[in-house]
Amino acid sequence: MKKYFFIYFLILFFQSSYIEASANYDAGKSKAQTCIACHGVNGNSTNKMYPKLAGQYKDYLVYVLQEYKSGNRKNAIMNGFASNLTEQDINDLSLYFSKQKGLEVLPSK
């Protein structure tokens, strides 16, 4: 009996950590409202000062937001914004922007 309880809690534990880590598109969309002032609607910035986020690889966005958050990549504006983001926010935002039409992978020659 004890053994089953252990397995049950093990499943519960991994399941909840999986849900926490998985990205949510709709949550990303609403969180992105703070970003569009600079990065443009859907992440399609029209101002060269602000990089386009639309269509960027999700993994890159996650990575670079973590770098801003930790301070490894320095930018006064983005360090401030990223420091307020949780891991969940980073996942949601990165999923949302990566799914927007924007940057495209160049065809290989």
- Segment near ligand HEC (CB under 6 A), from 2-10, 11-19, 46-54? 46-54
CA 29 to chain centre: 11
| N residues, the chain | 109
- Whole-angstrom Cα distance, residue 88 to residue 28? 9
Cβ–Cβ < 8 Å for 28, 95: yes
Q: How far is the CB of 50 from ligand HEC (least distance, A)?
A: 5
Comparison of 17 and 75: residue with beta carbon closer to ligand HEC: 75
Binding site for ligand HEC (CB under 6 A): 34-35, 37-39, 49-51, 53, 61, 64-65, 75, 77-78, 81, 93
